[in-house]
Amino acid sequence: MDVEIKKYLFDIQESIDSIQKYLGDKRDFKSYMGDKMLRRAVEREFEIIGEAMSRIEKLDSSIEITSKRQIISMRNRVIHGYDKIDNEIIWGTIVRHLPTLKLQIDNLLD
């Protein structure tokens, strides 16, 4: 695997780990909604994940990552549609999709 792709995969891995660290024991939507700084931090990590995914896609579109297009689209919505961010979608992504993405990235880096 290309060194540059590994760097982007590591960036994704680091952002996922950061989101999990930010949330700590606050694993409920109400706590998430009550903490603007937490929401902004999570949004920034999703920007990084989406940008790294976009760069991986440009370098090697054959790398198998579930929901690759949706991840890139989420990044675009967070950056360009800051006033239309749906916190329920962000939270749903954290709960339902982040664990799968983490597993796939960890496997690709092994």
Annotated active-site positions, please?
75, 80
> Which residues lie closer than 8 Å to 106 by C-beta, 6 or more apart?
13
Rounded (5°) CA angle 87-19-51: 80
Lookup: tokens for 89: 């979608």
Nearest in space to 71 (alpha carbons), one of 96, 87, 54: 54
CB 71 within 8 A of CB 50: yes
Entry field: residues in the chain? 110
